[in-house]
A and B are shown apart, each in its own frame.
Chain A
Amino acid sequence: MAADCRPGPVAVLGAGVMGTAIATTVLGSGLPVVLLDVGQAELDRAERTIETQLRHARMMDALPSGRTPGRLVTTTSLSALAGARAVVEAVVEHQATKVGVLVDAAGVIDADTPLISNTSGIPIDALADSLPRPQQLIGTHFMNPAYLIDLVEVIRGPRTDEATVTAVTELLAALNRRAVVVRDSPGFVTSRLLHPMLNDAARLVDEDVATAQDVDRLMVGCLGHRTGPLRTADLIGLDNLVDSLAALYERTGEQRYRPCEQLLAKVRDGDLGRKSGRGFHDYRETLS
């Protein structure tokens, strides 16, 4: 059955930076969402953030016209996933945590419901290993802010079946999203290219070659980047950037993925970027 013909909500697992932005995207397209996290505090904050993001999306003309926003339900209970038309996993970038959540979700949803991971770079096939039906799993790498960016990197694992690809393509179409499908590999295309660059940008600041402001100014003014690498790192969340780099380093052994000291120090100090109010830049009035 086609995903967008299912009556149920889209379930989003993890109400962090990406979970909320993906929920906003789905709600703004008129579909209902069940948003799950481990803590009520995260869910309360996500509800406020989603409200602001829906306004933001509307302001940027990023919502399909003529659709009433879908209904949002937040929950800490897995049983609320029953009947979902699709599940999008967006919990922290740790393989064991992701596998745990995906296995739990697979136990609650139908056999033909697509199970989608929004991992930044953990191979889909590695996540599929412990699943009862590995063919059900696929990767969609939504970019941040997901509610403003309409292109999605889709990762088809070696065991992902055709029905899952079709269901996800239809879901993305219902969200007004375009997809580029790539083969499974650590970091896929976008993280493999972007993350080492962000790591290097942090190193430049650490080595006093330039300030964060100037690194970004050069990349924007000379090379046409939209916001510069360090503002991008701040938007991603430096904790997630470190985790994503570590996951790639662990799988490839390549030094360029090894999270640099500057990034590790910021995470230790709680300077996580936009989400904590400060990273390489200062954000006093953020989206939450």
Chain B
Amino acid sequence: MTTHQGPGTDSAIEETLKSYLVDRLKTEVTFDQDLFESGLVSSMFAMELVVHLEKTFEVSIVGNDLRLANFRSIRSMAALVRGLRDGDGRG
């Protein structure tokens, strides 16, 4: 498992997502694991992830951000949340 943390990035979002996923999927997951490829996340659960992210991190995921690729791993979801929180003009 890689845990490369860039300077200034704390991994609180990753940790929150990880404990949610471990709880829901009843299995260990790593930050970089491809959740779809490993068959852990179905297309139904993908939408639950969207709703969960929006609720937990108070963001709204619309337009171009609503792409499966953004939900592939804990890392990519965290990056999406960070981007939306920083208001970096996504979407």
The residues of A with any CB-CB pair to B shorter than 8 Å are: 52, 55-56, 58-61, 145, 148, 213, 220-221, 226-227, 231, 235, 274, 283, 285-287
Contact = CB atoms under 8 A, between A and B. Distances in A.
Interface of B: 26, 39, 42-44, 46-48, 50-52, 55, 62, 66-68
Nearest to A56: B47
B43 A220 contact: no
Contact of A235 (B44, B47, B66, B67): B44
B42 A285 contact: no
A148 B43 CA distance: 9
A60 B51 contact: no
26 contacts: A55-B62, A56-B43, A56-B46, A56-B47, A56-B50, A58-B66, A59-B67, A59-B68, A60-B43, A60-B68, A61-B68, A148-B43, A220-B39, A221-B39, A226-B42, A227-B42, A227-B44, A235-B44, A283-B48, A285-B48, A285-B51, A285-B52, A285-B55, A287-B47, A287-B48, A287-B51
5 smallest A-B Cβ distances: which pairs? A56-B47, A59-B66, A285-B48, A285-B51, A227-B42
B43 A52 contact: no
Contact of A52 (B42, B51, B67): B51
Nearest to B69: A59
Given A52-B51, A220-B39, A285-B55, A59 B26 contact: no
Contact of B47 (A52, A220, A231): A52
Given A60-B43, A221-B39, A226-B42, 12 more contacts: A52-B47, A55-B62, A56-B50, A58-B66, A61-B68, A145-B43, A148-B43, A227-B42, A274-B44, A283-B48, A285-B52, A287-B44
Contacts of B52: 285
Contacts of B62: 55
A227 B41 CA distance: 9
